[in-house]
Amino acid sequence: MRDAVVVTGVGCLSSLGIGADTFVDELLAGHSGIAPVTRFSTAGCRSHTAALIPGFEPTQYIEPLKLRRIDEVGRLALVACRFAAEDARLPTQTGEVGVVLGSATAGLHSTVTHLQSLVTTGPACVPALGFSNMIGSAAAGLCALEFGWHGPNLTFAQKQASALAAIAFAVGELEQGRVSAFLCGGVDDIEEKFYRVHDRFRVLSPTDGEPEASRPFHAGRNGFVLGTGGHVVVLETPSSAARRGVVPYGEILGIGAAASDCRLNAWPTEPTGQVRAMQRALAEAGVAPVEVAAVFATANATQALDHVEAVALEQVFGPYGVPVVSLKGALGEFGAVGAASLTAALLCLRRGMLPPTLGCEPRDPLCRVDVTTSARPSAGRIALVNATADGGAHYCVVVRAIAPSAVEGTA
């Protein structure tokens, strides 16, 4: 019999603000983190909007001498892991804790800087200080070195599904008893050339500077908005948490994964892969569709993905059969957003509420999903979280939130 896996800590750096409480408060208030890009020039672009982290000052959390050797994604990883570990009162300097992160942009900033220096000044003038950050696994490695976590250390680069891929791996390792706990989730930051390439391929919404540029399930949706953030959770066994007297936020009930047959950079055009992933997760969890209180969808305001997911949800739950939330209207699309959705599912359901799906009205009549533009009460504590990457990878996680009142009642 497999051991259970619980969530005991959360760390959030999001476009809605710093910290998990701020993240959830802003989500439930219906606020958006999407705004005009000011970090770099978007001159010549069709799109001028992104979801960037406001007010994040790394020197508040990382020593200046260390900061010189850490790139943008590494900074997010260190701080998000610190927040999550402190929340869970997780020990440092131990081989019983591992780190597994997902990212679509890890190593990108340092790689661009390195290549620019190489081309403009020649190999003799390329700064060596940032070379190690070009490796995609550098951020996870930095976290292990900083906090002395000597367990397994991995990074998943599976595009938009990277964070849920990392979480799925960590759950499997914990179930097999290989370590006691994992810091896992996702970290991403936008680099200018990365933004411009996406704009050049015309996949970003051209809505100029508007907070509702990202419009999941909207009849006139026209592309996604790039997002940023660090969303990390502590996963561990109940026995590990009990030894420290830590009360879990919730439990991971089931994992499902599947793939669709589509081109490398295209979204799936039929629902079979998503249906399989959801059904496998529900089966592993031992949860019937009717027991699911909400689905935190992967819908990102692209024509293809939103429609395919709506059809998949209809096949699993029936038309308008389950409340659906997409955070992409508030946070944009990025590799860490699956971990953001999982965090939101647990923390919002603990409050008995579901956040709105921003920008979804007027809804596409072909997307027969139950979405609203305002927060609403939740009828239960079980959520299903979806993530899909272009190229056809699907991950699905079923979680159950533990309400604070339930915990107090057992104390």
The two domains 5-244 and 252-410 share their CATH topology (first three levels equal): yes
Q: Position 107: which residue type?
A: G
Residue 409 pLDDT > 50, yes or no?
A: no
Please name the fold of domain 5-244: Peroxisomal Thiolase; Chain A, domain 1 (3.40.47)
Q: How far is CA 192 from CA 39, 196, 241, 321, in A?
A: 9, 6, 41, 41
- Each domain of the chain, given as residue ranges in start order, spans 5-244, 252-410
pLDDT tens-place string over residues 264-282? 899 999 999 999 999 999 9
Contact 130, 67 (CB under 8 A): no
Q: How far is CA 304 from CA 308, 311, 366, in A?
A: 6, 11, 11
Q: What pLDDT is stored for residue 285 in this prediction? A: 97
Confidence of residue 113 (pLDDT cuts 50, 70, 90): confident
Please name the fold of domain 252-410: Peroxisomal Thiolase; Chain A, domain 1 (3.40.47)
Entry pTM: 0.95
Q: Is 149 helix (H, G, I), strand (E, B) or coil?
A: strand
Q: What pLDDT is stored for residue 411 in this prediction? A: 36
Q: How far is CA 5 from CA 243, 296, 349, in A?
A: 15, 20, 18
pLDDT tens-place string over residues 66-103? 888 899 999 999 999 999 999 999 999 999 999 999 99
Q: What mean pLDDT is reported for the chain?
A: 94
Q: What pLDDT is stored for residue 112 in this prediction? A: 83
